[in-house]
A and B are shown apart, each in its own frame.
Chain A
Amino acid sequence: MLELTNLTKKYNDTTVVNNISLNVKRGEIFGLLGPNGAGKSTTVSMISTVLTPTSGSITIDNKSLREKPIEIKKIMGIVPQDLALYQALSAKENLEFFGSLYGLSGKKLKNRTNEVLEIIELQDKKNQDVAEFSGGMKRRVNIGVALMNDPKLLILDEPTVGIDPQSRNHILETVKKLNQDRGMTVIYTSHYMEEVEYLCKNVAIIDHGSLIALGTKEELKQSLAACDTLTVNFSEASEGALKQLNRIPGISKVNIEGNQISMLVSTNDKNVIEIVDEIKKLGIKLTSFKYEEVNLESIFLQITGKALRG
């Protein structure tokens, strides 16, 4: 459905997106993971034709975006990271306006507006100005606008930033439903691991504009020999003791922030309790510890050496 080949975007000497190549299959939800400033939004902007790539190509539905932008735009829905709505207009007016830009008019426009209002569950508030909506409701309208043309490819750029858990769940469920019921291909960018883990089968991880990992969640865990995460809090520890943490068998990627240490642990030879005991033996007085099985967060930590939500 979507193919990026050696996609690069440079601003003067700064490379924002560096030689990214990936392939999104028809009917899947594809996760694009990365911290703020990783290059996700720039990639989405290039796919949306708002930015022109410095080099590389984008193919959507077997058509080159450079050659047939208008045709491709007709089958694509974009949900920008920032709310892109007219605050002075109602939800219905926003949907109708953007729907008309996709060539809808008359009864078709009216019917589609009602369908979308149903999907985003805002029928009863359709005539209310967007300015009066809560953050979650605005996010839903933001998604609704992208659905007006019933797109084959839906691109959501961090659609849940800054909203309450209830609205977040609603958005995640809506995306899943659109994919399952209508076979819509979805590209979902986020820096929330749990969202990507919940929605996506295939994942790409971007950092500093480069693609650093690509595959299914399972493939990533296996190929990277990824480890579980152990986070401990301490009250007292000498500098020497902290330096020796890396020498304990099964511990890697130690990251110390204040009185908290996060590290990757391999539980092949020892169990967690044994590893915690080893840490105590170094003279580090622990107050608590948290153990998490391998997940995207730990994969990201392993690859980049830093936490995703920084």
Chain B
Amino acid sequence: MNFDLEKFKVHGEPLIYGAMISIALVSIGIVVGLTVFRKWGWLWREWLTTVDHKRIGVMYILAALLMLFRGGIDALMMRLQTAAPDMKFLDAQHYNEVFTTHGLIMILFMAMPFIIGLMNVVVPLQIGARDVAFPRLNAVSFWLFFFGAMLLNISFVIGGSPDAGWSAYFPLASLEFSPTVGNNYYSLALQISGIGTLMTGVNFIVTILKMRAPGMKLMRMPMFTWSVLITNVIIVFAFPVLTVALALMMFDRLFGSQFFTMANGGMDMLWANLFWVWGHPEVYIVILPAFGIYSEIIATFSKKNLYGYTSMVASMLIISLLSFIVWAHHFYTMGQGVLVNGFFSITTMAIAVPTGVKIFNWLFTLRKGRISFTTPMLYSLAFIPIFTIGGVTGVMLAMASADYMYHNTMFLVAHFHYVLIPGAVFAVIAGFHYWFPKVFGFRLNERIGKHAFWWIIISFNVAFFPLFILGLKGMTRRMYTYSAETGFGPLNMISFAGALGLAIGFVILVYNIYWSTRYMPRDENGDPWDARTLEWATHSPIPEYNFAVVPKVKSRDPFWAMKHDKQPLFEEPITKIHMPSNTGKPFVLGVVFFFLGFFLVFSMWIPAIVAGVGVLIVLAAMSFERDHGFYIPADKVIKTEKKLGGGTV
């Protein structure tokens, strides 16, 4: 093998050397820390090999928080570079890599895993189950996501990051115009984590359809569980498109095929179509669960049941169907003509109708309630007015003719941040604050939480509202610099100030986790918010078997009915509980996949083949392993329940 060390190197920027050093220092710190405190065994037994949906959920959320900061630093660098005309902070290539990874990381490695993390923690509890349908598959999903994310992240310091935008339009992303390995990373990192996401989709559909507690009919499910079910159906239909598109991209870049290139009949528009056939449903994959989270929180803190349950479910179903027939609105300007553009305009605007239904149902859930302004509720309430701006500008963009003026401008950038930040980020933060005490047994501090909230909400508007106006002034997205005559300077400076404020808000938010871990009093009864759904019916922190006795559901909001209408939930005696046993194979599979991806990125064929065989061996080992799990004996369950005290049995 002839190694060319040059292609691994990224040159020039002091920022990149800084990143290399910090990655190295953090890695050394983690290794030294684990060794000094003798935590390697603990890490392996309790986390790396776990199949417990709660722990997997926590790992998803931790990874998502890390990625939030990585993507946030990208955002700060972009806003700084464009804060004033002719800035010299980043050069064009570096800027292009930064906005590409910002998009990829925030959507695929922050928003999605955060939501999947919350799904993991909450859904089995909400339906009264002991785990997901396929606990080991769940671990495989997580480790594939995690190592996919790591693969994309090392691109920054080894070989160079993707630089053709998160949508990687061809022929720009082809070898001809993007000769670095950056877009190889794109095709492989997304592929590896995408396979994990697809498995999550299958896993949660089966879990929700087959593992609900007795009596929990579909129309008695909590709204978050409904949203997760619909989301996972979208995942199962949308992600195979991405899988195929990424595979074709990899063939184009590594093996000389010509699916999307300029030569030999390659079709650049085919990539754009495939990408957005996945990409638009992807937006709803992150937003529908958010709707579910808000539904839970708004009902809980209004002390009311959710208004218009049936129309809430119906509207999500309609949104999920429409999400598959709107993709061409991402390229009205491709010259499809009036008929096609008209069709996609109408389907796109139609989404406003079910979305409006949800907004009004939330407003009427508040009506006649008794609203308490806790931190999770504040985020949920801030969501309504801000997201509505995102929604109405979405309708404006949906009008094909007007879009000829908005397309690729900052107006579009403002719009989708006004949709995705309240629609996904506020939701996961709200859900994080809301379910945190369930997982860890204590609440996050309200005072610090509200400080973070106001920083985030106000700074968000300062950062993104000016972009609407910049768009109307004709500023296009993805420009690494502009001249002073354009007059774009002042508004960009305001936006940069907002970005700084957002950063401060997120730092306060994380500080709150640290502070609360040290000082917050521990919850006694597992139900700190006086909530309504089943997850609050068990102890906090949750025992590994979730419920000592499987609950019997007789209505919506069964836990509320138990507390206020004296409806009994747990009637059976405690018996032995069947649990899945831990396994290290999903982690090993993730590691092997990581190396397979890495070697393919650099076209190192022999190591890649070895790693590929390794993948097959691990898969075979998983398939042929006989493991029927284990039983927790009844007396041990009773002992645990007594120790946890209070509670429900």
A and B associate in one complex: no
